[in-house]
């Protein structure tokens, strides 16, 4: 075999190995991944894991606006970062939890065409942001005028997702309540477009801290003193 062919073969094998083990293999395995059913007695809940899928239309808007540049969507393991211990990054929004929010697993993103795990954290993590959103109008307000909610925020103001329309007599049910400096003016109101609603639906669908089957049992077992 000529030197050239040997060279190319060597390169092919050296790169082919990680290509096969990191890409091809996992892709094939992932496609066989299916939801797992919960065991009502052991896990305390019914149904399957993961219980719900994210709102896909809204995820398209999320991709289009480039939210992934500043927001992550994964809670890291407690040995690597403070993620799980941070207030409001899980279901509990007000108090202090005894256990950290669990780190995310592969199945948490089952059903998503692409998981936007995030490039940087200029803003808080959004893996469980669905629990933070109690008021849709407030969420719309923070998209339309982020600095009216958090003065220090550097989030872009996504006004292109909203329509400023003339107020027709009674205030429209969907119109946003804005403080004066962000308000378009007397006689006008700001109404979300379908895309803004889809984006909020997507955000509300982001809840990734439901129990993992068998985890409760595993943690109880781990807590037992070793014999």
- Residue 185 binds another protein (CB under 8 A): no
- Residue 174 binds another protein (CB under 8 A): no
Q: Shortest distance, CB of residue 40 to another protein, whole angstroms?
A: 20
- Residue 136 binds another protein (CB under 8 A): no
- Residue 53 binds another protein (CB under 8 A): no
Q: Shortest distance, CB of residue 149 to another protein, whole angstroms?
A: 7
Q: What is the 3-state secondary structure (H, E, C) of the chain?
A: CCHHHHHHHHHHHHHHHHHHHHHHHHHHHHHCCCCEECCHHHHCCCCEECCCCCCHHHHHHHHHCCHHHCCCCCCCCCCCCCHHHCCCCCCCCCCCCCCCCCCCCHHHHCCCCCCCCCCCCCCCCCCCHHHHCCCHHHHHHHHHCHHHHCCCCCCCCCHHHEEEEECCCCCCCCCCCCCHHHCCCCCEEEEECHHHHHHHHHHHCCCCCCCCCCHHHHHHHHHCCCC
Out of 39, 45, 65, 191, the residue judged to bind another protein by CB under 8 A: 65
Binding piece for another protein, criterion CB under 8 A, among 58-66, 167-175, 185-193, 196-204: 58-66
Binding piece for another protein, criterion CB under 8 A, among 29-37, 39-47, 186-194, 199-207: 29-37
Residues within window 74-103 making contact with another protein, judged by CB under 8 A: 74, 76-82, 85-87, 95-96, 98, 100, 102-103
- Residue 35 binds another protein (CB under 8 A): no
Q: How many residues bind another protein (CB under 8 A)?
A: 91
- Residue 156 binds another protein (CB under 8 A): yes
- Residue 176 binds another protein (CB under 8 A): no
- Residue 194 binds another protein (CB under 8 A): no
- Residue 173 binds another protein (CB under 8 A): no
Integer Cα distance of 122 and 125 in angstroms: 9
């Amino acid at each position: 075999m000529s030197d050239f062919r040997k060279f190319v073969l060597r390169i092919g094998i050296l790169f082919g190995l990680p290509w096969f083990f990191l890409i091809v293999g996992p892709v094939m395995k992932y496609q066989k991944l299916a939801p797992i059913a919960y065991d009502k007695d052991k896990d305390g809940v019914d149904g399957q894991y993961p219980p719900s899928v994210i709102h896909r239309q809204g995820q398209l808007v999320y991709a289009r606006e480039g939210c992934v540049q500043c927001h992550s969507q994964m809670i890291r393991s407690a040995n690597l970062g403070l993620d799980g211990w941070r207030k409001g990054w899980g279901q509990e929004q007000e108090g202090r939890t005894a256990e950290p929010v669990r780190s995310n697993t592969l199945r948490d993103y089952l059903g998503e065409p692409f998981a936007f795990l995030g490039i940087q954290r200029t803003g808080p993590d959004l893996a469980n942001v669905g629990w933070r959103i109690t008021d849709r109008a407030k969420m719309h307000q923070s998209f339309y005028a982020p600095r009216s909610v958090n003065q220090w925020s550097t989030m872009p103001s996504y006004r292109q997702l909203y329509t400023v329309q003339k107020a027709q007599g009674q205030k429209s049910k969907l119109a946003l309540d804005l403080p004066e400096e962000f308000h378009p003016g007397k006689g006008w109101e700001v109404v979300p477009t379908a895309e803004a609603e889809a984006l909020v639906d997507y955000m509300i669908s982001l809840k990734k801290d439901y129990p993992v089957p068998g985890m409760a049992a595993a943690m109880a077992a781990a807590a037992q003193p070793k014999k």
